[in-house]
Amino acid sequence: MICWICGKEGFTGEHLIKASDLKSQFGQVSQDYPLYYHSGKKKNIPVGSLNSKRLKSNALICNSCNSSTTQPHDKAWEQLSSYLKSNITVYQKNNKIKLSKIFPGSVHRSMLYVHLYFLKIFGCIIVENKASIPIGEISESILKCKAHKNIYIAFGENPVKSKNNHAGYTPIHSVDMGNESVFASWMYVTDNIAVNIIYADEYKDQNVMRNTWHPSSIKKYLALKKY
């Protein structure tokens, strides 16, 4: 199978919930202390390793794209994720966070990398589910390290309150015209953080787009979304 990002031979399945997010939330996972995986088809499947294929996409990428190309993007999200998990409840009341506290001296570059991290996850989901969203534009953004003009992101506090730890992602919900999507939305959830990733080509509902961001709109403060 080829790497959907660059077209070379693909070997690696990407974690659809970042391994560092799972580790910070669930700690050490083993056969004795497994996670329990749920899908639309099955529930309560024990997973005894964070390296399990059940936690990864079937859409493969090559070693180069998985390491040197996208590693800075992974690290930027890991840094932002850690900060948000520790502070989201406080900042949600003020509805914004000061980005220089997280990325001193590198706000614009680091937030572009966060954007590109979610492009990689989005691309894996698109390929795996054969969604009607142009994958070439996403791979080009990753390879050229530039923002995708139609993809926006929002961060907010996880609205689902549960006694049990949970992490996951939702299916893509889309609005299609002909054979292509003009709008699509899905959620990435880890601990107390919910990230909404939106593809908006022609269709941009103002209520849906409120408090989303794009790398071209990044300033000192980032508005948080109330779900």
Q: What pLDDT, in 10s, does the model give residues 112-159?
A: 999 999 999 999 999 999 999 999 999 999 999 999 999 999 999 998
pLDDT value, residue 84? 94
Of 159, 156, 165, nearest to 88 by C-alpha is: 156
* pLDDT exceeds cutoff 90 at 57: yes
User: Looking at the predicted structure, is the pLDDT value of residue 172 above 90?
Assistant: yes
Q: Would you state the pLDDT for residue 207? A: 81
Answer whether residue 23 shows pLDDT above 90.
yes
For residue 135, with 0-12 CB atoms within 10 Å meaning exposed, 13-18 middle and 19 or more buried, which class applies? middle
The stretch 94-99 carries a mean pLDDT of 90
pLDDT at residue 206 greater than cutoff 90: no
Question: 96-105, 107-116, 176-185: which has the minimum mean pLDDT?
Answer: 176-185
* pLDDT of amino acid 183: 94
Residue with tokens 């309150």: 161
**pLDDT level of residue 42 (50, 70, 90 thresholds):** confident
CA dihedral of residues 176, 146, 137, 182 (deg, nearest 10) = 10
What SS3 state is found at 166?
coil
Q: What is the pTM of this model?
A: 0.94
Q: What is the mean pLDDT of the chain?
A: 93
